Amino acid sequence: MKKQRLLLRTVILILLLGAVGYTIYANFFTEKTRVTVGSEAPDFVLTDLNGKKHRLSDYRGKGVFLNFWGTWCKPCEKEMPYMNRQYQVYKNQGVEVIAVNVGEPELAVRKFAERFDLKFPIVIDQQDQVMNAYDIDPLPTTFLIDKDGKIVKIITGTMTESMVQQYMESIKP
C-alpha cells in the first residue's frame, strides 16, 4: 500500500514538473511574432452565435473591423451600438465587422447581443487562442484590416461613433 502511494505521488510530481517545464519553455524560449501595423493578420476560424464558422482569410477583398471585447467591459458596451449603426452603413460597401468575445459563456454573450440588437457576426474565442495570437491587452482592442489581409491600424480603448465611422471608411475597399 505504501509503495503504491509513493509511486502515485512520484508520477504526479513528474507530471507537475513536466507541466511547469513546458510552460516555462513555451513562454520564454519560443519565438513570438508580435502583431503590428503592416503585418499580415493571423488567420483564425471561430464560430458565431448562429453556428456559422468565420475564417478571417475568407474575408479577403473586404475591409475587416476586428473587435475584441467582453460583456463585462464598460467601454466595450459603450462602443457596440456605434459599431452596429456603422456596420449597417458600411456592410454593403465591403466592410465586415467581426466581434471576438474573449471566452465568456455563450448565454452571456447571446444576452448581450440581443440586448443591443447586434447585427454583425459575434464569435467566441473559448480557449483564448485568437486573443493570444493577436496579443490582446486591454479590452476593447480593434484591428483594422485592409482588403489584402494587412493590419492598417490597432485601436485600444473606447471609440466614439465618429471614430468608428472614420475607421470603417478607411478600410473600405
pLDDT digits (tens, 9 = 90+) for 26-72: 665 544 567 899 999 999 999 999 999 999 999 999 999 999 999 99
Please say if the pLDDT value at position 9 is more than 60. Answer: yes
Q: Where are the alpha helices (DSSP H) in 29-173?
A: 74-90, 106-115, 129-133, 161-170
Task: Give the separation between CA 13 and CA 102, rounded to whole angstroms.
Answer: 32
pTM above 0.85, yes or no: no
The CATH number for 45-170, chosen from 3.40.50.300, 3.40.30.10, 2.60.40.1120, 2.60.320.10, is 3.40.30.10
